[in-house]
Amino acid sequence: MAASNTVKYGIIGVGMMGREHLINLHHLRTENVAVVCIADPHVSSQKLALELAQSFGWPLTVFSGHQDLLDSGLCDVVVVSSPNMTHYQILMDIIHHPKPHHVLVEKPLCTTVADCRKVVYAAKKRSDMLVQVGLEYRYMPPVAKLIEIVKGGSLGQVKMVAIREHRFPFLVKVNNWNRADPVRVMASGAIDVNHKDEVYDGKVPDIIDNAYVIIEFDNGSRGMLDLCMFAEGSKNEQEISVVGDIGKGEAFVPESIVRYGTRVAGRDGVQTLKAEDDRIKYDGLHHGSSYLEHLNFLSAIRAKGEKAPAVDLQDGLISVAIGVAAQLSIEKGRFVTIKEVMDEHHWNVLFKY
């Protein structure tokens, strides 16, 4: 492939996750990609990213602000991995920029449903841009294998999905920021262990560190998240269970094991598989899923409009709406419908009273 066909990337926000994207893209260099510029207001983050890029032999142009990066015209694709609360303004500036840039934005899309909706609306006017949201767990080999089994019909009609995420607390951030349709959400959660002895700008962090979240879908199926962020003593960080009317499947991360069986075959008929993906050249922080996410998005970019992003803006909007509904359910002690949080007028009333 000629050098002129190199896909040039810029990264906005080169803290821990931004540098993880830099490393993943370096491992994709055989696909003719290069990171050519970064933007970050924090000099310490700039220096760490520059050191990484120099070790890769990649010269970087450094900007302190995202607008300067966009105006430079240096890149074709922008990775947004800045603090959550900055996503909205950065995305709107990218979307409204005269030069089209394809975008991979880290989750969450934005921090409010209203801002997500504005981004979705604005992006509809830019058919010359692809925007993918970084919901990367689906690319983890055991999760991808479980999805394949479900789609293959081995489990029948899905009735229940459960995700147990028992892990470490959120890591320190720069400046300390932190397809069935869902119908309603019920959650119970609290701040029980983490961050209770921390104070930033005179305030104690309000990050919920454990919760149970139940989601009801319009097709009658239900999902549950069992989240604990002080469970470092776990063999697996994620355990996913899908139960259909004729069988059950499970995925375990990072063991990378998948088990599935049918009601008819019973316990003795349960099969165990080791899930692997030979395409992964770098495991990184997310067990190879970020690498595959980039590979997938690059394929969509090179398809020039013939292939949609695997995780689009609507997916990003719905994921934020579910999270907001769960937060509100914890505060109000009741079920919260997705319609409530998607309805802007009703949203304002809910948080006023």
Closest residue by Cα to residue 255 from 141, 84, 97: 141
Q: What is the pLDDT of residues 204-244, one digit of tens each?
A: 778 899 999 999 999 999 999 999 999 999 999 999 999 99
Closest residue by Cα to residue 223 from 208, 237, 242: 242
Q: Which two tokens stand for residue 96?
A: 């409204």
* Residue 309 one-letter amino acid: P
In a domain, 105, yes or no: yes
Strands 271-274 and 222-228: unpaired
178, with CB counted inside 10 A (0-12, 13-18, 19+), is middle
Q: Are 238 and 229 in contact (CB under 8 A)?
A: no
Q: Are 132 and 106 in contact (CB under 8 A)?
A: no
Predicted pLDDT at 31: 96
Residue 253: strand pairing partners: 238
Domain that holds residue 158: 138-274
Q: Which two tokens stand for residue 54?
A: 């120099």
Closest residue by Cα to residue 68 from 29, 40, 49, 89: 40
Residue given tokens 């692997």 in the structure block: 276
**56 and 30 in a common domain:** yes
Closest residue by Cα to residue 207 from 344, 79, 84, 338: 84
Q: Which two tokens stand for residue 82?
A: 């800045």
**148 and 132 in a common domain:** no
Residue 225, Cβ neighbours under 10 Å: how many? 20
* Exposure class string for 236-255: b at 16+ Cβ within 10 A, else e: bbbbbbbbbeebbbbbbbee
Low-confidence residues in the chain, pLDDT < 50 = 1-3, 174, 176-178, 345, 347, 349-353
Predicted pLDDT at 344: 61
Predicted pLDDT at 51: 97
Predicted pLDDT at 203: 82
Residue 79: strand pairing partners: 11, 104
Predicted pLDDT at 347: 46
**177 and 264 in a common domain:** yes
C-alpha span between 162 and 239 (Å, rounded) = 8
**308 and 262 in a common domain:** no
C-alpha span between 162 and 95 (Å, rounded) = 36
Distance between alpha carbon 124 and the CA centroid of its chain, in Å? 21
In a domain, 350, yes or no: no
Predicted pLDDT at 161: 97
Task: Supply the CATH number for residue 28's domain.
Answer: 3.40.50.720
Q: How many domains does the chain have?
A: 2
**263 and 143 in a common domain:** yes
**35 and 123 in a common domain:** yes
In a domain, 340, yes or no: no
C-alpha span between 134 and 286 (Å, rounded) = 12
**204 and 193 in a common domain:** yes
Predicted pLDDT at 196: 81
Q: For the whole model, what pTM was predicted? A: 0.91
- The phi, psi pair for 195, rounded to 5°, reads 65, 5
193 contacts: CB under 8 Å, gap ≥ 6: 209, 210, 230
